[in-house]
C-alpha cells in the first residue's frame, strides 16, 4: 500500500508541476506580444509559487480520491492494517513531497521568510487533508479550505495585535512572534479538525457519507464559528481604537 501511495503522491506532484510549463510560455508571450521585459527568474518564481500553493491543496483533498472514484473503501479497510497505519501511509508520502517543495523554495529564494510561508503551506495541507473525507467536490473543497485558512490567518493576526497592544507600527507578519502565534492558532484550529477527521475515519464504512459526518458537525462547525466570532469582535475593537 505504501508504494501505491508514494506513486499517487508523486503523480499529484507531477500534475501540479505542469504549471511550470508557464515559464517558457510566459517568456514567449513577453517577447512576442507584450514586450514588458520580464526576467526568466521572475516568471519562474511566479509559477513556482503557483505550484507550491496548488500542491498542498491537491495532495490533501485527494487523499481518498481513488477510493471514492472506485468505491474501494471496503477493500481499503480489508487490508491487514490498522486505520491509523492506513492514514499514516496515505498522508506521509504527500507530506514528504510538500517538504521537498518547501526545501526547493529555499534554494530558489522564493519566499521572504521560509519559516512563516513554509509553515502556512503545511497548515493548508493539513486543512485539506482533514477535509478530504468529508468533501467530494474539489471546487467546494478549495472554497472550504480558503474559509478555514482565512480563519487561521485572521485569528493569528488578531492575537498578535492583542500582544503588541493594538499598535500597528509594531506589527510584523514575518517576525518570530508572528510565527509563534501562527503555531498557537494552527493548533487551536487543526486539533479539533484532526479529531473530527480521525473520529469519522475510525468508524467510516459503506453507509452514505452524510450520515457519517456528525463529528464535523459537532466539533468543526463550532470551532470555526468561535474563530470567526473572535475575529469579528476583535476587528470591531480595533476599528474603535483606530477611530
Annotate 40-102 with three-state secondary structure.
HHHHHHHHHHHHHHHHHHHHHHCCCHHHHHHCCHHHHHHCCCCHHHHHHHHHHHHHHHHHHHH
DSSP state of 216: I
Q: Which sign does the torsion angle of CA 121, 122, 125, 127 carry?
A: negative
Q: Average pLDDT of 128-135?
A: 90
Q: Average pLDDT of 27-38?
A: 75
What's this model's pTM, rounded to 2 decimal places?
0.90
Task: Give tens-digit pLDDT for 111-129.
Answer: 888 899 999 999 999 999 9
Specify burial of residue 49 (Cβ count, 10 A radius: 0-12, 13-18, 19+). Answer: middle
Query: Average per-residue pLDDT in the chain?
Result: 86
Confidence of residue 209 (pLDDT cuts 50, 70, 90): low
How many whole angstroms from its chain centre is CA 28?
32
And the C-alpha cell for 214? 456528525
Note down the domain range covering 164. 2-242
Max mean pLDDT range (135-149, 209-223, 229-243): 135-149
Res 241 pLDDT > 60: no
Q: How many independent structural domains does the chain possess?
A: 1
Res 72 pLDDT > 80: no
Give the pLDDT score at 53: 93
Q: Average pLDDT of 216-232?
A: 91
Least Cα distance to 116 among 102, 96, 130 occurs for 102
Confidence of residue 239 (pLDDT cuts 50, 70, 90): low
Confidence of residue 208 (pLDDT cuts 50, 70, 90): low
Q: Average pLDDT of 178-189?
A: 94
Q: Picking from 5-14, 63-72, 127-136, which range would have the lowest pLDDT averaged per residue? A: 63-72
Amino acid at each position: 500500500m505504501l508504494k501505491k501511495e508514494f506513486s499517487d503522491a508523486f503523480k499529484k506532484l507531477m500534475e501540479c508541476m505542469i504549471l511550470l510549463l508557464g515559464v517558457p510560455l510566459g517568456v514567449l508571450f513577453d517577447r512576442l506580444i507584450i514586450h514588458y521585459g520580464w526576467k526568466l527568474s521572475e516568471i519562474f518564481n511566479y509559477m513556482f509559487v503557483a505550484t507550491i500553493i496548488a500542491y498542498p491543496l491537491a495532495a490533501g483533498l485527494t487523499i481518498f480520491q481513488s477510493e471514492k472514484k472506485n468505491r474501494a473503501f471496503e477493500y481499503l479497510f480489508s487490508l491487514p492494517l490498522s486505520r491509523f497505519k492506513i492514514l499514516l501511509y496515505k498522508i506521509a508520502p504527500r507530506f514528504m513531497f510538500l517538504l521537498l517543495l518547501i526545501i526547493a523554495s529555499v534554494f530558489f529564494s522564493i519566499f521572504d521568510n521560509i519559516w512563516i510561508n513554509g509553515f502556512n503551506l503545511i497548515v493548508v495541507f493539513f486543512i485539506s487533508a482533514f477535509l478530504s473525507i468529508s468533501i467530494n467536490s474539489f471546487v467546494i473543497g478549495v472554497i472550504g479550505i480558503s474559509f478555514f485558512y482565512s480563519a487561521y490567518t485572521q485569528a493569528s493576526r488578531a492575537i498578535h495585535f492583542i500582544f503588541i497592544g493594538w499598535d500597528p507600527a509594531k506589527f510584523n507578519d514575518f517576525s518570530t512572534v508572528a510565527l509563534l502565534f501562527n503555531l498557537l492558532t494552527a493548533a487551536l484550529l487543526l486539533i479539533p479538525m484532526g479529531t473530527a477527521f480521525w473520529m469519522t475515519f475510525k468508524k467510516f464504512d459503506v453507509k452514505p457519507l452524510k450520515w457519517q459526518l456528525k463529528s464535523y458537525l459537532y466539533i468543526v462547525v463550532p470551532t470555526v464559528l468561535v474563530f470567526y466570532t473572535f475575529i469579528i469582535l476583535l476587528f470591531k475593537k480595533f476599528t474603535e481604537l483606530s477611530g
